Structure 1
């Protein structure tokens, strides 16, 4: 069998393609029109010294590769059995396989080169003499967490990527290892094939989406998976290639395992020919279980549970010995494999990763914008914010993000003020808010149904489509059930009677659930029932399945996971439990973008997993609802719990003994009950104040609840003299995160950015799962 391999960046040289340009004049003219310069002059003369600049190198190599392939095809009349390309070379391989025509491929490569050229400040280095595992060990032992494996060129030629400072620091460490034959810093402008290309990847994904690809006529081996491309995932795989390692070694091993294979390099130079010889000499073939293959294609597995693995054991036949038979391997998991691809598509996300809406704008406008620009989605924290403040935040977010960049608004339950809920929803409808994160609801309210109704329409086939999407955070099955059902008839009829929804909207409401997706919230910061993910997730997924069957929904309701997620291993556990997406909270509170004080961030940076405690929730004080808060270095949880206990045992402030009253006024409130009530009257409606004057129990509740607003404001303002009273919602996930990043750049909160954290968690979750799977395979 025959495989054509196409080289990538690094194989360019002046004079390449000298015999090709006059033979394919029409294609060369088309290339010049697309590029805006003479590709022939660039390759043969390079008078302006541009050939080694990424934005010029990539289209030049692609052109020479394609012309070389067409010449080879004319000469031999034979198409190869397989094609593969190293990084950029993969675009030439896809052309050879019929994915697109020459001009389309060149437009895509031109954009790719321009985006990669803009990635400044990064560096790459080749390490020769060590295996990937040995390189990984050195990076881990020396806390080089900011360095990624970029290329696996041969078993003992590994390329690493990171910022220049880290690569330069790593040089002496690697050179001190006696097995390292060479550590060579490469002459490149960026840290290609690493997490540092995520911005370029986001823009590239938008650009490439405008093109239509044809089914492949020849199997193309993907750099990302070292397996053949899948037609339905062509664009997705090309996009992920920018940040994923170039797995050239296993790509060749896979082809070695397909039979007696001849490799022919098509294009300038013979770099790949040399690498293939090393791989053939140093590595065994990969023999893939035939049941996973379909005409040379293999579907990427969705990581919903630990997969089963097949091992070929026993004595080798002579034929097996010739092919170096080995344990069957599965495709490598990459971040975009994690969770539901449909979820990512529906919300236009790069990763199935969300950041939750922390109250009082701690999930700030800046945080939401940062997430949206990185291809993820954040929710603005509206709890405790006025309508005017929420409107201002919406305007800032919408002005900062493009139509394709995702964002959402938090929508928290107001059990004692349903009118306020409706005013918030009216605001969301006014500004066209398409995604809301619903939190702390125990029942469905009219505001939710109204929001749902106003986003419904029918497509050309009569199917009901929901444009206003609801992601409901739930921690109890009975609450989840309400969101998995259609809107309650009593609420629909009431809204219809009040002319708040139309008859058509009412009819459509009975065909869809309240929520598009539910997010199962286990033990978390803020409002929490202290649930355990290992028990909640299976129960919720089963409930979702039962409710979908009961109501016959056509579109699946995705189930996500939140609470306790602060490290790759916890994220991996969530995905293995079946999460279609994950949502983080506490870890984002200790970032540059979080809308809280530096004093709070300094405190949070120091905590461990045992440094949180449950306290009453100020907004649901009378109900006895709980929030999880920081306990290290503060008195708030103890004082809040005492206030609730006093409220539970007494019917009025007059029942409190003198010592208790003095303690509350002097130590907790730092003012008299009368002064507190005067402040309460400034922001509570007159009707509620009148009720409190007539009901001593209610008045006591309002005064005690003032303390919760007061302590929150102290924390937001960072008043050092009142630090012991700071109310800081936080879960143990942040403690785990702090331990994970200890000794790295991210130990200091000033270096923590929400997008960096999201990228790091998703990338390292994929790596963690790959490692665990490899350990399982080894038995």
Structure 2
């Protein structure tokens, strides 16, 4: 295979490019019209070493060198890669954007990076990244980042100049040659975050074409995905250049002929050194790899959950440069093939839409389709659309909602999921596991040659009570397994293997949240669930550790950080995703949601569990729904039938709440249940209080429809499930482009929240260390 590699900043030399520029006068003229200066003149004077000039000049020269090869008859490469700025040429060669677009991009990139004035950079030759980290740790220096991993023994550090100068003698004593570089700032480090954010805003105005051949990303040392070009180009500014890992990845794909396209042999010489380190084995799938890369910086936050309680004097140590990709459980990321220990939870009636699930999957994350209240035919339609849009290895999940009144609904969904190969299910609203859920978990279990059990169907159980968590941390109930075997729904071998596994290897502890809620407190619930996890692990002797995640109230870095510090293996967001472009609710609802503060939500009865008095958390700002829903439940408790209602209450319901007669509401309700479950109608005709409950429940269905459709007529009756997390998120992004929901995309919220969480943790631990 052939791989073209394009050099970046540092490969420039005074006097370069004269003949090449002369051979492409038309393209040079276009570039100069955009840049406002002569490329040939810059190549001859001191401006060539100034970032705002260096980057456009190098991009143009590399691009022309590529065109010269192509025009000379060279075939397209099998892969391409570029070092930092050179990555833009690799993308140009692969067809991501045209020549003029490339010039515009690198011009702005160079301007933003040149504006940065904090810190400097130092090349360290002769030491591995691990040895450098040891020296930094011994000196207690956590302000310096690894900027470039150029070769196994050639690194570049970024950080405050005073700290680079402080560590230089120690690095030299350890056997390194240290050279302070003539740059204006600490490129490819945390100190470039402002430049990165400004560039991300700039990139919103561009679209990118599919790549004709794979281009390896500096940020991840893996091929670009079409949907993530803008994201990775922005992240490249403040992320390390993983050149060693990139080359080793390519070597792992097979024999490679590397061809350097551009001035000099800088990359060719680095590749010779990297070859000696050997390749990284080729991956079995094209999904983003979330595990630590061989030459990447070490994990920044390692959550160790011992099987026995830690001693009182435990000291938490966080190495420098905490990164979003290292938060939470590495096992979780590896199991689901996701980049972050982060999920977008389901929202009923498809508010967590196929568009939301697809966008998360394409970004290397995972979201769940909200199947609650959605007709089975539509669930199948949405599922097939998701599967068609995502590539092999890109993750997605489906919600499986416990249905007390209609267990057949669960059976139908499980049939559908098994038929179409759904591997990940979010189980919610369960108090006890159902036959359908057990069948989903158990079906397909098999013993591997090494003795491990292959479980193709994964359950993430959302729980808010320890007694329910215990059920999911236990193997499936033996009586249920026996019933399923006798019915021929699972095999005897599958039932035997099921006794060695928990119902769910992932438990999502749901604190106070939007929709159904027990209004639990995370700081009390999460530790209790983790203690229970240790008990259950010891009691059953599971080979794989049960993971415990956190949901509810997570809308800011502070909330996410508290979950991870308490030991959460992953986090799940909900309310904040309802106010995104991808959420399948109406624009009037989103317009209202983006204005919420933390106090703008309250509790009301849950329509699907109305008779039980279960609660949901909903928006109250400017809406009558919460008060009216509570009034309906009070009437249900007070009266035994519709006929007993006092005249004033009946009038209020018909004129204000329903805007139609009670007889009309019952007629509509009756016709619905005659289609889907005639037994419900029969019970209602025999039991007047049941009939009253069904009429009152109509209001909950109706108000959900009003919100989803954006009805202007009955806006004050919108039923909008939401928790206080959205209010805190709105406050966090106030005054930024994300203040408007039209700029909110579900995957971008995930990355922004997790990255800000990592940065906040860094600052807090540094402050604690300083205080100590």
Normalising TM by the smaller chain, what interval? 0.5 to 0.7
Contact 1:353 1:377 (C-alpha < 8 Å) held by counterparts: yes
| Number of residue pairs the alignment of both structures matches | 580
How far residue 446 of structure 1 moved from its aligned partner, in angstroms, is 0.3
Matches within 5 A, 1:310-709: 330-684=319-673, 685-709=677-701
Contact 2:80 2:90 (C-alpha < 8 Å) held by counterparts: no
Q: Indicate how the Cα distance of structure 1 residues 761 and 493 shifts in structure 2: closer, same or farther if over 3 A, else same.
A: same
Aligned to 2:700, the other structure's residue is in SS state: helix
For residues 478 and 205 of structure 1, the distance between their equivalents in structure 2, rounded to whole angstroms, comes to 44
Q: Indicate how the Cα distance of structure 1 residues 379 and 742 shifts in structure 2: closer, same or farther if over 3 A, else same.
A: same
For residues 531 and 442 of structure 2, the distance between their equivalents in structure 1, rounded to whole angstroms, comes to 27
Contact 1:224 1:332 (C-alpha < 8 Å) held by counterparts: no
Q: Indicate how the Cα distance of structure 1 residues 392 and 584 shifts in structure 2: closer, same or farther if over 3 A, else same.
A: same
For residues 202 and 640 of structure 1, the distance between their equivalents in structure 2, rounded to whole angstroms, comes to 54
For residues 132 and 629 of structure 1, the distance between their equivalents in structure 2, rounded to whole angstroms, comes to 48
How far residue 200 of structure 1 moved from its aligned partner, in angstroms, is 7.6
Aligned to 1:559, the other structure's residue is in SS state: strand
Contact 2:654 2:661 (C-alpha < 8 Å) held by counterparts: yes
Q: Deviations over 1:100-159 (max 9, x none)?
A: xxx9998797996666554877533235784369xxxxxxxxxxxxxxx99946636245
- The aligned counterpart of 1:728 is 720
How far residue 723 of structure 1 moved from its aligned partner, in angstroms, is 0.9
How far residue 614 of structure 1 moved from its aligned partner, in angstroms, is 0.7
- The aligned counterpart of 1:773 is 765
Contact 1:437 1:470 (C-alpha < 8 Å) held by counterparts: yes
How far residue 419 of structure 1 moved from its aligned partner, in angstroms, is 1.1
How far residue 55 of structure 1 moved from its aligned partner, in angstroms, is 11
For residues 460 and 473 of structure 1, the distance between their equivalents in structure 2, rounded to whole angstroms, comes to 33
For residues 664 and 498 of structure 1, the distance between their equivalents in structure 2, rounded to whole angstroms, comes to 48
Contact 1:344 1:350 (C-alpha < 8 Å) held by counterparts: yes
For residues 480 and 197 of structure 2, the distance between their equivalents in structure 1, rounded to whole angstroms, comes to 61
- The aligned counterpart of 2:12 is 12
- The aligned counterpart of 1:52 is 58
Tell me whether 654-663 or 114-123 shows the greater mean CA deviation: 114-123
How far residue 471 of structure 1 moved from its aligned partner, in angstroms, is 0.4
Aligned to 1:53, the other structure's residue is in SS state: helix
- The aligned counterpart of 2:303 is 304
Q: Indicate how the Cα distance of structure 1 residues 714 and 463 shifts in structure 2: closer, same or farther if over 3 A, else same.
A: same
For residues 439 and 324 of structure 2, the distance between their equivalents in structure 1, rounded to whole angstroms, comes to 36
1:717 equivalent in alignment to 2:704: no
For residues 359 and 349 of structure 1, the distance between their equivalents in structure 2, rounded to whole angstroms, comes to 24
- The aligned counterpart of 1:754 is 746
> Structure 2: which 5+ residue stretches go unaligned?
1-5, 18-42, 44-54, 67-76, 121-146, 149-156, 162-183, 208-214, 226-235, 253-263, 269-294, 305-312
Q: Indicate how the Cα distance of structure 1 residues 167 and 461 shifts in structure 2: closer, same or farther if over 3 A, else same.
A: closer
- The aligned counterpart of 2:271 is none
For residues 202 and 425 of structure 1, the distance between their equivalents in structure 2, rounded to whole angstroms, comes to 41
How far residue 470 of structure 1 moved from its aligned partner, in angstroms, is 0.5
The CA RMSD over aligned residues, in Å, is 4.2
How far residue 777 of structure 1 moved from its aligned partner, in angstroms, is 2.0
For residues 354 and 296 of structure 2, the distance between their equivalents in structure 1, rounded to whole angstroms, comes to 44
- The aligned counterpart of 1:131 is 118
- The aligned counterpart of 1:739 is 731
Contact 2:514 2:574 (C-alpha < 8 Å) held by counterparts: yes
Contact 1:227 1:331 (C-alpha < 8 Å) held by counterparts: no
Aligned to 2:617, the other structure's residue is in SS state: strand
For residues 268 and 498 of structure 1, the distance between their equivalents in structure 2, rounded to whole angstroms, comes to 65
> Structure 1: which 5+ residue stretches go unaligned?
1-5, 18-42, 44-48, 61-102, 134-148, 171-188, 192-198, 210-221, 239-264, 270-295, 311-328
Contact 1:59 1:113 (C-alpha < 8 Å) held by counterparts: no
Contact 1:51 1:57 (C-alpha < 8 Å) held by counterparts: no
How far residue 572 of structure 1 moved from its aligned partner, in angstroms, is 0.8
Tell me whether 404-413 or 151-160 shows the greater mean CA deviation: 151-160
For residues 168 and 420 of structure 1, the distance between their equivalents in structure 2, rounded to whole angstroms, comes to 45
Q: Indicate how the Cα distance of structure 1 residues 381 and 494 shifts in structure 2: closer, same or farther if over 3 A, else same.
A: same
Aligned to 1:157, the other structure's residue is in SS state: coil
For residues 449 and 589 of structure 1, the distance between their equivalents in structure 2, rounded to whole angstroms, comes to 30
Aligned to 1:629, the other structure's residue is in SS state: strand
For residues 115 and 341 of structure 1, the distance between their equivalents in structure 2, rounded to whole angstroms, comes to 31
Which TM-score applies when normalising by structure 2? Answer: 0.68
Q: Deviations over 1:440-471 (max 9, x none)?
A: 11111001000011131221123212111100
